[in-house]
Amino acid sequence: MAKPYNSLSCLIITTFTLLQLIFPSQQVKITPPPLPILPLPNCAQLKWHQRELIMFFHFGVNTFTDREWGTGHENPAIFNPTRLDANQWVDTAVQAGVSLIILTAKHHDGFCLWPSKYTDHSVIRSPWKNGQGDVVQEFVNAAKARGVDVGLYLSPWDRHDKRYGNNKEYNEHYLAQLQELLNNYGDVKEIWFDGAKGSNAPNMTYYFDDWFAMVRELQSTINIFSDAGPGVRWVGNEDGFAGSTSWSTINRTLLSIGNSNADYLNSGDPKGTDWLPPECDVSIRKGWFWHKSQAPKNLSDLLEIYYKSVGRNCVLLLNVPPNKQGLISESDVQRLKEFRSAVDTIFSTNLATKCSIKASSKRGGKNGGFGPENVLDNDHLWTYWAPRDEDKDEHWIEFKAKDKPLRFNVVRIQEAIGLGQRIKGHEIYVDGMKIANGTTIGYKKLHRLEKGMLSGHSVRIKIIESRAIPLISSIGLHFDPFWNPNGQGDSGPF
């Protein structure tokens, strides 16, 4: 039984109540975030966006026949890498700043890099490790040891298997191999499907819906890549270039694997009902498999690809093929080191952090939490500048140099895509003069200025069209010493 209040307790309670009536507490009103604009990325897609650069390894019998598309009649005995070292592959990827690597577990020739129970056209008939080897397992083990995520490519077109062309039998066979890969090799973060096949290939209906359902059942955090997603879409070419307008949104009902409109894939759709961001696949060499006669692309080509993929709201999937020894060639390793060093050099310094900053308005007032200072922190998703809802005019954010003028040739803008992709048009001004304009931004937009380095005291970014109030998560002003369109030379940003 509770004790009755004594007189002192009653006095304290009465006094406290009177004080509350005389001096009511001031409730702090926290302004909530704005409503999202659908569709939204899921958790796996958000993580994918943040990777920016991932890597492909095309490896198989084509490596030893000097082909791009195998015939399916190759003798498995030709697959005999003398020094295969998946650790070297992963080291190469890590040095390039890559956090996800994808292996061609089976290409169109049907040769399997793992000992599949459903075919003997695999490593079990290779002299490599006396038929006891498993490239997929070595790949997964090397990645796991370095904290790198893995993806796998299992070609739907199989030029070796005699069941190909028989819809029921081949789909059962394909699903069986898919289950082997997704059950036996741990977490897989991306699975790659495509519609590639030769014009003379037998008619074949792939049961993609069945495949995708099985994938999701076996790996709940995976991204499924294809022309039509449902996790990540093809960009529509193999040059590594996205459209200058690049929406993460698209209508999947208008897509068909192997038959989708390349222009639609390339640009996406502002009215799209599905979040299906584009992945830009391109090889560091001319071919996808290693060929002795080919060399890696030069640094300027790789940087152009970077600006037109990562800089256009995409993830860049860069193929780096192992050679006949089973190693990444030294020329490719060195070019990747140059590439990573160049990207770090360009973006390691943000000149905007040395500026004062103001905006047309901000949501929630002085202490609302959505001020323009958020674009200079290290969170590029969940902190952002947001203008007031009631502002219908132009939205802008401006940086002003505190002393010496700013000298830069790259402008980086990022949206808070966790609440949807919004911006449809924007312009950039230096000291009141328009120096660049564009449409979409998405996760990241990079403007490499056509005229090269500019010098000015103020930089204003205007949002001129948007699906809802714009949410800018990050802005950077950078100097790229490798970009000298007018022969300016490397005079640096200072």
Q: State mean pLDDT over 263-275.
A: 98
List Cβ neighbours of 251 (8 Å cut-off, separation of 6 or more): 269, 271, 272, 273, 274
Residue 120 has pLDDT above 50, yes or no: yes
Identify which of 161, 88, 150 has the alpha carbon closest to the alpha carbon of residue 122: 161
Structure-model confidence comparison of residues 6 and 134, the more confident one: 134
* Domains of the chain from N-terminus onward: 41-345 (3.20.20.80), 349-476 (2.60.120.260)
- The pTM (predicted TM-score) of the whole model is 0.93
Residue 1 has pLDDT above 70, yes or no: no
Q: State mean pLDDT over 256-261.
A: 92
Q: Over pLDDT 90: what percentage of the chain?
A: 89
pLDDT confidence band for 490 (50 / 70 / 90): low
Q: State mean pLDDT over 292-296.
A: 98
pLDDT confidence band for 392 (50 / 70 / 90): confident
Q: State mean pLDDT over 240-262.
A: 96
Residue 236 has pLDDT above 80, yes or no: yes
Structure-model confidence comparison of residues 391 and 453, the more confident one: 453
Q: State mean pLDDT over 16-32.
A: 60
Burial 75-108 (b: 16+ CB within 10 A, else e): ebeebebeebbbebbbbbbbebebbbbbbbbbbb
Model pLDDT, residue 391: 81
Identify which of 180, 276, 270, 275 has the alpha carbon closest to the alpha carbon of residue 227: 276
| Residue 301 to residue 295: CA distance in whole angstroms | 13
Q: State mean pLDDT over 327-340.
A: 98
| Residue 284 to residue 305: CA distance in whole angstroms | 10
pLDDT confidence band for 10 (50 / 70 / 90): very low
Average pLDDT of every residue of the chain: 94
pLDDT confidence band for 28 (50 / 70 / 90): low
Q: State mean pLDDT over 12-36.
A: 63
Structure-model confidence comparison of residues 12 and 238, the more confident one: 238
Q: Over pLDDT 70: what percentage of the chain?
A: 93
Model pLDDT, residue 17: 47
